[in-house]
Structure 1
């Protein structure tokens, strides 16, 4: 069983389309998204409608929750006041731009999903099983705590925008990275493929796309210049 896992699309339809094409070439059996379809980028409706049209299994991200329910904050961790101001601009733009039917879709997304293949149980969440917006960074105290009490075989999350694979005894923690707003130091979209058999193999994939078009569209829509820089550099 091959599962392509995408995450943190963040209103970047060009990255989503490029990754979708790459996944199809690799002949996966299933695609799962670990949330944050919207925010930061200029194409929220296009992304949600692509996910809906292609019946991609998706769990709710903190940004999906904030936009779907039209909250005042997105639930991200921004110690810098300027970043907090930019996040507010992004949230307001996305709430104003997204169609009501697409907001309804976001509100109906589950907080978690549990699937079983080849006797392996897999939980998909956005942040962590404990909180929608908790960061499970590689080798972090939070990740260690979560995996100590984890009752399934594999935990797949997103939210940090940096893909990684970490084993905790017999259990596996996989972060699916970000296709729409990577923080790897590269503008390429990244995602993971889980190959589930008696053993579990995880491949971290990266895909080039025309990110300059997205950067220019960000500026055209009056979104912060830093968002365009993020897209061009893959840096936070």
Structure 2
């Protein structure tokens, strides 16, 4: 079983469509998104509709939450497109976290960290002991995070994984890795790929 992982699309419809096409070609069984559907990019409505129509579950990122807090018709203060009422309704229905089972593994998806959609999971702030604590506390085999726009992978001593697929957005309005990830649940292997051509690239493991 293969799980495709995307995050931080930020209204970049072209990048989302390209990442999705690569994942489908790679034969993933399911795709999940770690949030920030909107913000920065010009096409929040097209991105939201794409995720909804293809049944790709997503958590609510901080930019999604901010769009809801601004309300209908309010412009994005980060220069992105203004979400329609329909898109705001979609964002309002996104959960703060997702938990599901696939291939006999329990996967939990959040945006920032299990504690906050604004918390950056970084090497300095989240050493192995902290990540191991997350995996143990929420009783999952795989924890998926986003928010940093930087790909990462960590494997704990018990085999649990923490993965950040990086950011899908490719528009030059924000720092981004322009990447997505594939998790082979049977092999317990994570690969990161470039949005532009789907090619894999190395990500130094934590720990």
Q: TM-score, normalised by structure 2?
A: 0.82
Hey, what does 1:207 align to over in structure 2?
A: 195
- Give 1:120 shift: 1.8
Asked whether the 8 Å contact 1:9–1:180 carries over to 2, the reply is: yes
Judging changes above 3 Å, is the alpha-carbon distance between structure 1 residues 118 and 188 closer, same or farther for their aligned structure 2 residues? closer
Deviation for aligned residue 1:28: 0.7
CA RMSD of aligned residues (A): 2.5
Shift of 1:181: 4.8
The partner residue of 2:165 within 156, 176, 181 is 176
* Counterpart check, 1:89 vs 2:74: no
Confirm or deny: 8 A CA contact 2:132 2:156 kept in the other structure: yes
Structure 1 residue aligned with 2:102, among 117, 136, 142?
117
Deviation at 1:49, TM superposition (A): 1.2
Per-residue deviation, 1:149: 4.1
1:158 to 130, 138, 146: 146
Closer/same/farther in 2, CA of residues 149 and 9 from structure 1, 3 Å limit: closer
Residue deviations 1:141-184 (CA, integer Å, cap 9, x gap) = 3354243243212111110111111122222110110111589x
Check 1:172–1:153 CA distance in 2 against 1; reply closer, same or farther (3 A cut). same
Asked if 1:127 is matched to 2:116, the reply is: no
Larger helix fraction of residues: 1
> Residues 140 and 122 (structure 1 numbering): CA distance in 2 closer, same or farther, change over 3 Å?
farther
CA distance in 2, matches of 1:153, 1:206: 25
Equivalent position SS for 2:166: coil
**Greater mean alpha carbon deviation, residues 173-182 or residues 119-128:** 173-182
Kindly name which structure, 1 or 2, has the bigger radius of gyration based on alpha carbons. 1
**Aligned-pair CA distance for 1:118:** 3.2
Contact conserved, 1:165 with 1:175, CA < 8 A, in 2?
Answer: yes
Extract unaligned runs of 5+ from structure 2: 198-207
Partner in structure 2 of residue 4 of structure 1: 4
**How many residue pairs get matched?**
188
TM superposition shift of 1:187:
7.1
CA drift of 1:99 comes to: 0.6
Give distance in 2, aligned partners of 1:114 and 1:140.
27
Return 10-19 or 48-57, whichever deviates more. 48-57
